[in-house]
Amino acid sequence: MPQRRMLSAIGACPRRQLKSEDYSVAVRDCDVRRALHGTLLRDHAEAQDDTLFVDELGLCGEVRVDVAVINGAMTGFEIKSERDTLRRLPKQVEFYSRVLDYAEIVVAKNHLAEARRIVPSWWGVRVARLDADGGVQIKPVRRARRNRHIDPLSLAQLLWREEALAELAARGADRGVRSKPRSAVWERLVQTVDTHELQSMVRSRLKARTTWRVA
């Protein structure tokens, strides 16, 4: 089944037409998000039939990934536009780093130096700048590397309770947890499969969803 889907949360964000003297116009979140979408679609053009793009993917009930890309790996992008602050970034780093195979921050130029001090060395870094036409150009600063410290229980929490139970049932391991809270189901799943199998399972389940709901 083709998975070329962009589940978007951009909303209304009209493209701006700038004059050459408009140097003080701030880079908006929705402008960066639109530009990032375009960049990611081009980056994954050869694998789009097996790639899901999701805006605002929740992690552990604590943070939301601004843009997630799910295919043979799970990659998350955190956007910090010019008027954002980096106050929440340490918490976002913590939870992104528990779950994602790769993570990147996309920042306006005014946040670049501080953001590089906050994010781990394996995170990718990109900078977003306005061009003369009012669009946003996203340029790579540092390439992302694979996260070697996935937390299986945090990863399992991406699954809905019914999905996790179905995976346990397929392995004959659902006895005793079918009536338990979802936390017990996630814990049993983590005890039943190794991290590599869990990662593949979660990616497959997310890509197979035909509808999404708030967890």
| 213, part of any domain | no
Give 95-110 pLDDT, tens digit per residue. Answer: 999 999 999 999 999 9
What does the pLDDT look like over 10-50, one tens digit per residue?
Answer: 344 555 444 434 444 677 888 999 999 999 999 888 766 78
Q: Is 0.85 topped by the overall pTM?
A: yes
The whole domain housing 164 covers: 152-208
176 contacts 130 by C-beta, under 8 angstroms? no
At 48 the pLDDT is: 64
45 & 70 share domain: yes
Q: In whole angstroms, what is the distance from residue 21 CA to residue 112 CA?
A: 24
Does residue 42 belong to any structural domain of this protein?
A: yes
Instruction: Looking at the structure, tell me whether residues 128 and 39 fall in a common domain.
Output: yes
The two tokens of residue 55 are 């805006």
Token pair of 215 as six digits = 């967890």
Residues 103 and 203 placed together within one structural domain of the fold: no
Based on the fold, state whether residues 86 and 173 are members of the same structural domain. no
- Classify burial at 115, counting beta carbons within 10 Å of its beta carbon; exposed 0-12, middle 13-18, buried 19 or more: buried
Model pLDDT, residue 214: 45
> 56: domain CATH number?
3.40.1350
Bridge partner list, 142: 125
> Could you tell me if residue 147 is inside a domain?
no
Residue ranges, the chain, pLDDT below 50: 1-4, 7-12, 16-24, 214-215
Res 28: pLDDT: 84
Q: Give a yes or no: residue 215 inside a domain.
A: no
Check whether residue 121 and residue 165 sit in a common domain.
Answer: no
Q: Are residues 133 and 165 in the same domain?
A: no
Domain final position from 92, 109, 142: 142
Beta strand ranges found along 12-167 (DSSP E): 52-59, 63-70, 74-80, 102-108, 124-130, 136-142
Q: Are residues 31 and 133 in the same domain?
A: yes
Residues forming beta bridges with residue 78, ordered by sequence position: 105
Left, alpha or beta for 26 (phi > 0: left; psi -120 to 50: alpha)?
beta
